[in-house]
Structures are given as structure tokens and as C-alpha cells.
Chain A
Amino acid sequence: SQTIHQWPATLVQPVGSPLSLECTVEGTSNPNLYWYRQAAGRGLQLLFYSVGIGQISSEVPQNLSASRPQDRQFILSSKKLLLSDSGFYLCAWSRLAGVQDTQYFGPGTRLTVL
């Protein structure tokens, strides 16, 4: 069976500090990978998605970036965090490049920027 991991589970960082969140998927190969952010009182916002190693598409221009150094690893980064970067970050994967396919979500990382 497939599992998706995210770490850390929680993170408190000062404004201006760097960020690295990691997501890994087990039990499948060549998954589509996604990063979402969930801000308080708002829905989920798609930040990045990837259909393969080194292939990253950005949905929203911001001070965040994503990388996919390995097939089942997806990293969300920032060089300098802003207060507005606080939120709940969710990684997701899907098996196929089809509209019917389901996205499966990881447990999330709670980021607080102070």
C-alpha cells in the first residue's frame, strides 16, 4: 500500500529565516506530487505540482519554491519567511495524470512564522 510522509509535523520559525519542508511517498513510482497551503479560515490553495523529477509548476507567485530531487521526494523551501507564510502545509500525491484520479494527502506540517 502507498503511504505519504511529511516532516516536520510542526515548525515555529522567525521572520526572515529559511524553510525546508519534506514530503516522501512510499509504495508507488512516478507519482504526481502537490503542495497545498491551508491558511486559517480559508480553503486549500495549490502552490506547486510536479509530474516528474525536476518538473515543477507553480500556481501562485510567492517567496516559496519547490524541488523534486528524487522520484518520490518533494521539497518546499523558502530563503526568507514572511509572516504571511504561516499556515498548514499539505503534500499530496496522485497515481495517474487523469482527472478521475484521486489525490491522497499527507498528515501536514503546521508552520508558524513569528
Chain B
Amino acid sequence: AQSVTQLGSHVSVSEGALVLLRCNYSSSVPPYLFWYVQYPNQGLQLLLKYTSAATLVKGINGFEAEFKKSETSFHLTKPSAHMSDAAEYFCAVKGLDFGNEKLTFGTGTRLTIIP
């Protein structure tokens, strides 16, 4: 079965600093990976997804993520944090050997931006 691990349930960065949110996956087959963002009391919004077309994926709001098979990682980055980036971020995986369209989510990372 597929799984994801998000290292760090809380991350704080200063405004203008680099944002790095870590995600490692476990999969016996090529995975499809997603990053979602959730603002307080709202649903999840797709930031970006990896579907094997390119290892570096660019998403909305200036975020990007790089798929590294050797490290089984899909870390999310943004060069310069903005106050509006404060939210909770979820990494998720789907695998080719699934019999259904089930997304497996990590436990989330809450990002705080320090003015």
C-alpha cells in the first residue's frame, strides 16, 4: 500500500524566506503525487501534481515541487514566502496498483509566516 510522510507538523519561516515543506512517499510502483493547500475552515485546493511527465512540477502561487525517485521525496518549495502562504499543506499519493481512486494523505504541515 502507498503512504506519505510529512516531516514537521509545524513550519515557521520569515516573510521573504525560502519555504521548504517535506514529503516522502512509500510506493512499490510509480506513484502519482499531489500537494494541496487548506486555508482555515476551507476545503483543499490543488497546488500541483506529479504524473511522471516532468520531475520538476510548477504549481499555483509560485510553488513548485521536485520528484526524486532515489530519495522517494516530493518536497514543496517556494523561493520567497508571503504572508498569504500561511495555511496547512497536505501531500498525497495515488498508485497504479490501486483498485480504486483512493488518495492517501499525509498528516499535514501547518505553515506560519513571520512578519
List residues of A whose CB falls within 8 A of some B CB.
6, 32, 42-44, 46, 49, 57, 59, 88, 90, 92, 94, 97-108, 110
List residues of B whose CB falls within 8 A of some A CB.
32, 34, 36, 41-46, 49, 51, 90, 94-96, 98, 100-103, 105-108
A42–B90 CA distance with the chains assembled, in angstroms? 11
A101 touches B101 (CB 8 A): yes
Count how many pairs of residues, one from A and one from B, have CB atoms less than 8 Å apart in the complex. Answer: 53
Taking CB atoms, residues of chain B closer than 8 Å to A102 are 34, 46, 49
Given contacts A43-B107, A44-B103, 16 further A-B contacts (CB under 8 A): A32-B101, A49-B101, A59-B102, A88-B41, A94-B101, A98-B101, A101-B101, A102-B34, A102-B46, A102-B49, A103-B103, A104-B46, A105-B43, A107-B42, A108-B42, A110-B41
